[in-house]
Chain A
């Protein structure tokens, strides 16, 4: 290659690069238009308020969990060492271990609490993930890319809420009824609740919110007129392990309703 050809090649590279750059800008602009015109539910900070008093029939939480797990192709593995769970129930003393007291009322002691990923404001799982397979979206949702996860389980050591499950065995052998709309996971990756990002993108509320028939309120904490903000304003609430500074986005209202405030 002589000097002239070399310069020509450099120039061609430059033009090509500019074209690619322009193209990517064009794509971005298109994406922005799509976002605006679609019916997607958008928010600054998605959060849930769980009215625990409305979850007290024995199977209330189990039904919600079953709906979630069915929708997301979560396998049903009975061995507690290998089980996968996105939302499930725990009692008060395990959900709020640090608030345990011998003088706790029998009523509260026997209450069931739905527990799930807290979609923290400062998520330790996102901080420790070495591949950004777990990441926080601009709307506050802590989501995962199951195709990027290497299965190191650092996020499970970092999560103080036990919200994450690892696919120790092939999950596809344990899915009773496959939901063809959504993917299932492969062996060797971590998974957890994703606040139903797939449904939000279509303008629908999360499965558990729908199944809970009003016992779980879902909305935008950044919007002062949202229902979640109104409920939080009118009720005393607790969150799990706030002392750790992760900023959980799941709020529990214990006595429930406006009257219980």
Chain B
């Protein structure tokens, strides 16, 4: 089926070419980091994880969000999602590959990566994260590829795929729960030390992931023969709305617990993020942008007239997506390192090399996604009712 990715329009080749250039730039930047060490990034002794790990965290959420299409379709027989399910599964595949790459570029000794397998350590959450992410990657790829293959030949999908789709549902929840546990169990990192971390992760994922998926569907509708129904778009938009409301609610719960209890450690990171601490306030504009966009997005999505207008819908979804990204793809990881173990603040600004590596990894993600979607669309175009 992969051969279908080789033939395409000029626009398709231009897009692929653009992605390959970004990938090469990222590769060159990574070679520099490989040579010189992680000293080329903005990370420091105090802020030991930066944009790599925060992008990883955010993208695990995007991967997990495929389940928001799978649950209505597989468990509740919501037929409108039928054509979209495979887009969700392949989005998950691309997202997990991006996650693995972000972990890889974050390692100080990437050549020793296999030590994770050679010396498996069940007490480490990172071990479990590796297990669930690899499993999730396999599940989604096998499900998507098999369903597409049988669709091409005009057969219904085999029974065992159905079993895998049921397994994939709790598995999706597990990948983001385990990722939350990377952070939520560390003594002394009060911003992360919260029982609702996994719940926050899942709610923001179920807002940002489907928001991205809708934008992708609308783009495909414009550029290709893949037309997602308005009903499917509206159902997904409602999922985004309530997931985002839950996400904002959970953040407000954190604010209450921190400030009503008045415990300094619990207040410090929130103060740093939203007001600045000891004169350090790099992230304040980002966090308030996130807050404004979150409220704006929710308001637009809640008003049916606005939500049904697809132009407004895209703006609202973009607002939700960017808000979630600022909150989880920047604030969450960086906020956890403030203040440091000695009550001091060190700020982090990513370096150009770091940003180029990040752009390269996202380009790889889009490359994988484009190839997979191209195959889907080509298969569907060839066999509307699958008669060969």
A residues sitting closer than 8 Å to B (CB atoms) are: 80-83, 90, 93-95, 97-98, 124, 126-133, 148-154, 156-163, 165-170, 186-190, 241, 244-246
Contact = CB atoms under 8 A, between A and B. Distances in A.
B188 A82 contact: no
Nearest to B189: A157
B186 A152 contact: no
Interface string B104-118: 001111101101101
A86 B319 CA distance: 46
Contact of B44 (A80, A128, A131): A80
B342 A94 contact: yes
Contacts of A189: 108-109
Given A168-B39, A188-B37, 6 more contacts: A94-B342, A148-B119, A158-B186, A189-B108, A241-B187, A244-B187
A166 B186 contact: no
A93 B343 contact: yes
A127 B124 contact: yes
Contacts of B126: 128, 130, 152, 154
A140 to B, nearest CB: 18
A128 B128 CA distance: 11
Contacts of B36: 169
A129 B124 contact: yes
Contacts of A131: 112, 115-116, 118-119, 121
Interface in B302-342: 336-337, 340-342
Contacts of A153: 48-49, 106, 108
Interface string B43-63: 111101100000000000000
B49 A157 contact: yes
B107 A188 contact: yes
Given A151-B109, A166-B38, A82 B119 contact: no
A245 to B, nearest CB: 7
B45 A81 contact: yes
Interface of B: 36-39, 41, 43-46, 48-49, 103, 106-110, 112-113, 115-116, 118-119, 121, 123-127, 130, 182-183, 186-189, 264-265, 336-337, 340-344, 346
Contacts, number: 142
Nearest to A83: B45
Contacts of A80: 44-45, 346
A150 B124 contact: no
A-B pairs, 10 with minimum CB distance? A151-B108, A160-B188, A188-B108, A162-B341, A81-B44, A168-B39, A97-B343, A169-B39, A130-B126, A244-B187
Contacts of B337: 157
A157 B106 CA distance: 14
Contacts of A188: 37-38, 107-109
Contact of A132 (B43, B49, B113, B119): B119
A186 B38 CA distance: 13
Contacts of A160: 186-189, 341
A97 B124 contact: no
A133 B182 CA distance: 18
Contact of A150 (B109, B182, B264): B109
Contact of B45 (A128, A133, A165): A165
Contacts of B123: 126-128
15 contacts: A82-B39, A94-B342, A126-B123, A128-B126, A132-B121, A149-B108, A150-B107, A150-B109, A153-B106, A157-B48, A157-B189, A162-B340, A168-B45, A186-B109, A244-B187
